[in-house]
Structure 1
Amino acid sequence: MNQEKGNLLALLPLLIFVALFLGVGIISGDFYSFPVLVAIIIAAVVALAMNRKDSLNVKVERFAKGAGHLDIMIMVFIFLLAGAFSGVADKMGAVDATVNLALSVLPGNLLIVGLFVIAAFISISMGTSMGTIAALAPIGVGISNGTDISMPLAMATVVGGSMFGDNLSFISDTTIAAVRTQKTEMKDKFKVNFSIVLPACIITLIILFFITLGQQSSVNAGNYEWIKILPYIVVLITALIGLNVFAVLLGGIVLSGIIGFIDGSFAPSEYFGAVADGMLGMGEIAFLSIFIGGVVELIRHNGGIQALLYFATRKIRSPKGAQYATAGLVASTNLCTANNTISIIIAGPLAKSISDEYKVDNRKTASVLDIFSCSIQGLIPYGAQILLVAETAKISPLSVLPYSFYPVLTAICGLIAIKFALPRFTRKKTHTTEPVRS
């Protein structure tokens, strides 16, 4: 395929950001020693200094366009609403009540297994990992505080379960993007995708079971009032019926306030204070997302994304090679954009061309796009999902990675599926009846 080489030098701002974000922490042993916002601002300055053909005004406008991208703004709004819901629910006593309920119902060694299953079930129904994390991360924090389970393990479990559903849900933006770019059907992609990632899910549950085996709660389950758990129940039910994530979170904020007023948990002034504090607590992650969006747009314009496309596709020789190239393409794009939906949108059209040329079934290509983008998204410490749980739990994003079993296993299962041409099926009769090559 003819593909322009792009400009690898355009990726320099991203490399600087990652080097500052990770490098300083590794050297000093303290990952909070170098503020992440300072790292991304330095990367933004470097990006603005590149490409001397354009004036600074033009580059600033380009940066602002990327920073204000629709997907970026939606993420920011979710962050703010998630922070407000978390703050109000905690102030009202929902977290303590939910933790006490969990401690009463489940043995200590099944809390984490249950947390993963709940996260997977909610996200596949809700269609968003961010909304699921917003609802469950506070519960994971409470479970960790009330048991011997480490906080990073609890947060990684929430992320893993959330990415399972985000990868499969019929209403997930990643699924929609993958299906639309490959011109296939949602149900067909689901069947292929599910058969690939199910082993990863099962193995993850087994690992979580054994890693928490023998761990007991350090506190006895206290009393809980069902009414205080109601906001989480409502959030879960409305998520399951497919209500918009904004409506879900707003409903949780309002309901938490009503319950708090009724039982005297807080006065109106304290309620609004909790809403404001919760939103302000998400300020860093919101600004980080905005700056990353701006930097990525400058990188894209300067040819950085194009360079990734070129190097991912230049050595394709077979249908299997085409699938490996698609996986590498969307994974590397995701590393640069820190957004799995955007990475699919960028890589999707080229992946479609590759699939058509090497006769790879579109259902398989759509699954590969979704699987590897979600896998990377669940592993990058500067991605929205890990940043959100880290901010909620007040831990380092890097501390979550050693427990990120599901994203790693998903990628492994994806590679195995490509290697052994799994699942096996024939092409649909719309174009040809010849068996698909993998």
Structure 2
Amino acid sequence: MTNREVKKGNIFALFPLLIFVLLFIGAGIFTKDFSGMPLNVAVLIASAVALLMNQKETFSSKVERFTKGAGHPNIILMGLIFILAGAFTEVAKGMGAVESTVNLGLSLLPSNLLLVGLFVIGCFISIAMGTSMGTVVALAPIGIGIASQTGIPLALAMATVVGGAMFGDNLSMISDTTIAAARTQNVKMKDKFKVNFFIVLPGAILTAIILGAITRGNVATISGEYPYDLLKILPYVAVLAAALLGAHVLVVLVGGTIFAGIIGMMDGSYSLGGFVQAISKGIMNMEDLAIIAILIGGIVEIIRHNGGIDSLLYFITSKIKTKKGAEFGIASLVSMVNMATANNTISIVIAGPLAKSIADEYGVDPRKSASLLDTFSGSLQGVLPYGAQMLAVSGLAAISPISIIPYSFYPVLMGVCGVVAILIGYPKFRQT
């Protein structure tokens, strides 16, 4: 029954995505240098391949469709967040906010608990804010500072930030992924939260233990006094507070940038011209990522129009035979769509209605299906090198997103917890 609800699609429509992965990841594996193939060049080539496909349409119509996808409101918003995050980060860094914040942490916490603290803070902030991108923007500069002053690998610090961000993105009552998962499965968000929380909690606990264990050796690299100025920390406090109060992320970033600039001009860190130049430098640092996000949006729209997404849906649903198979099918479905779209919210919106049909047909509790949608899309999003979160932290830290993946403990454990929950039939629901 479920298969008849899905068009067979066209598996060859996914070819641009394959080209992109082969160019970006394959070239890095082959040359052992992931900076050898720039991300922007790989995505540009994939864009050209997407536009050359489907000879039944005119090139002009394909370009129009590509630009429609590239100009989707979510894509443009993502680009704006990238460049404004760059501006805030650069201005705050220039007036000493990062140094003071890190030194405060070094003064208050044992060195072997710095990353554990960063992860736990990220978990709470992302649950309260309901956005992984907002959490990444707020905590990445602090993670960069911790890495620079402790000898902890920068990629590990960035992976920790992404892990904390994905924890709340998966669970928060105001997260767009939670809302999308709950609505598509016709279940209350609080009920979905209760099920989802206990599925992923072991992964979060294990992540904190792992972070504490692997950073113990950094104690010897930290010595001396750690001077800090509480005034310089205020921009980060203000950004977090505004986000927690529900302010729009663009308002938060613009306000934080202005606030940091004012403090910098008050203490002599900036002249007015220097403040403006810092904003410009921060924007330029992130321009590349904004362009990449726009191009990926265009590629995804071409893939969707040519039947690539439909082919993924059809392939998954054709393999389902049992209830446990249905749960694995829902997990695989949203994961594969997320891989094609590089956006966990969009993947839930696309896969959700079909997941609901699968859940109804095979007796999967809607609280479980909603949790599976959110858990597996978030797990993959947290390790996807061309996902928004990884692009943001790698751009701010000026490192390859590939270098972050080996340290992505929580997103991986999040997926492992989801698989275990399916295998052991957890949680057990009372029959109604």
TM-score for the superposition, normalised by structure 2: 0.97
CA drift at 1:219: 4.7
1:315 to 2:319 alignment: yes
The one-letter code of the counterpart of 1:36 is L
Match of 1:430 in 2: none
From 84, 88, 92, the equivalent of 2:91 is 88
The one-letter code of the counterpart of 1:414 is G
Name the SS of the counterpart of 1:157 in structure 2.
Answer: helix
Deviation string, structure 1 residues 89-116 (Cα, Å, up to 9, x no partner): 0111100111111111111100000000
1:202 to 2:193 alignment: no
- Asked whether the equivalents of residues 155 and 404 of structure 2 are also in contact (C-alpha less than 8 Å), the reply is yes
Counterparts of 1:30 and 1:157 in 2: how far apart (Å)? 23
Counterparts of 2:363 and 2:225 in 1: how far apart (Å)? 58
Match of 1:436 in 2: none
Counterparts of 1:74 and 1:167 in 2: how far apart (Å)? 20
From 271, 282, 285, the equivalent of 1:281 is 285
Match of 2:126 in 1: 123
Equivalences for residues 354-393 of structure 1 within 5 A: 354-393=358-397
Deviation string, structure 1 residues 214-239 (Cα, Å, up to 9, x no partner): 32244534211100001111122223
Name the SS of the counterpart of 2:216 in structure 1.
Answer: coil
From 82, 101, 105, the equivalent of 2:104 is 101
Structure 1's unaligned 5+ residue stretches are 428-432, 434-438
- Asked whether the equivalents of residues 126 and 243 of structure 1 are also in contact (C-alpha less than 8 Å), the reply is no
1:422 to 2:426 alignment: yes
Match of 1:330 in 2: 334
From 329, 344, 353, the equivalent of 1:340 is 344
Equivalences for residues 270-309 of structure 1 within 5 A: 270-309=274-313
- Asked whether the equivalents of residues 127 and 242 of structure 1 are also in contact (C-alpha less than 8 Å), the reply is no
Counterparts of 1:416 and 1:165 in 2: how far apart (Å)? 20
From 138, 142, 146, the equivalent of 1:139 is 142
CA drift at 1:270: 0.9
Deviation string, structure 1 residues 268-326 (Cα, Å, up to 9, x no partner): 11111111111111111111111011001101111111110011110211221111100
1:398 to 2:408 alignment: no
The one-letter code of the counterpart of 2:14 is L
- Asked whether the equivalents of residues 155 and 400 of structure 1 are also in contact (C-alpha less than 8 Å), the reply is yes
1:31 to 2:47 alignment: no
From 168, 173, 184, the equivalent of 1:170 is 173
- Asked whether the equivalents of residues 21 and 39 of structure 1 are also in contact (C-alpha less than 8 Å), the reply is yes
Q: CA RMSD in A?
A: 1.1
1:183 to 2:164 alignment: no
Counterparts of 1:246 and 1:420 in 2: how far apart (Å)? 43
Counterparts of 1:242 and 1:110 in 2: how far apart (Å)? 30
- Asked whether the equivalents of residues 282 and 391 of structure 1 are also in contact (C-alpha less than 8 Å), the reply is yes
The one-letter code of the counterpart of 2:210 is I
The one-letter code of the counterpart of 2:72 is H
The one-letter code of the counterpart of 1:17 is F
1:15 to 2:18 alignment: yes
Taking only the aligned residue pairs, the percentage that are identical comes to 59
Name the SS of the counterpart of 1:223 in structure 2.
Answer: coil
Name the SS of the counterpart of 1:282 in structure 2.
Answer: helix
1:149 to 2:152 alignment: yes
TM-score for the superposition, normalised by structure 1: 0.96
Match of 2:49 in 1: 46
Match of 1:254 in 2: 258
The one-letter code of the counterpart of 1:274 is A
- Asked whether the equivalents of residues 111 and 222 of structure 2 are also in contact (C-alpha less than 8 Å), the reply is no
The one-letter code of the counterpart of 2:100 is A
The one-letter code of the counterpart of 1:361 is D
Counterparts of 1:198 and 1:66 in 2: how far apart (Å)? 36
Structure 2's unaligned 5+ residue stretches are none
Deviation string, structure 1 residues 132-176 (Cα, Å, up to 9, x no partner): 111111111110000021111111000001100110111111111
The one-letter code of the counterpart of 1:165 is G
- Asked whether the equivalents of residues 103 and 221 of structure 1 are also in contact (C-alpha less than 8 Å), the reply is no
Paired residues in the alignment total: 428
Name the SS of the counterpart of 2:207 in structure 1.
Answer: helix
Name the SS of the counterpart of 2:246 in structure 1.
Answer: coil
Most deviating of 33-42 and 135-144: 33-42
- Structure 1 residues 162, 221: CA separation in 2 closer, same or farther (over 3 Å shift)? farther
CA drift at 1:69: 1.3
Counterparts of 1:291 and 1:384 in 2: how far apart (Å)? 13
CA drift at 1:31: 1.4
Name the SS of the counterpart of 1:146 in structure 2.
Answer: helix
Counterparts of 1:393 and 1:118 in 2: how far apart (Å)? 19
Counterparts of 1:184 and 1:254 in 2: how far apart (Å)? 42
Counterparts of 1:27 and 1:425 in 2: how far apart (Å)? 48
- Asked whether the equivalents of residues 82 and 131 of structure 1 are also in contact (C-alpha less than 8 Å), the reply is no
- Asked whether the equivalents of residues 199 and 418 of structure 2 are also in contact (C-alpha less than 8 Å), the reply is yes
Match of 2:164 in 1: 161
The one-letter code of the counterpart of 1:51 is N
CA drift at 1:29: 1.9
Name the SS of the counterpart of 2:151 in structure 1.
Answer: coil
Most deviating of 1-10 and 301-310: 1-10
CA drift at 1:250: 1.9
- Asked whether the equivalents of residues 146 and 219 of structure 1 are also in contact (C-alpha less than 8 Å), the reply is no
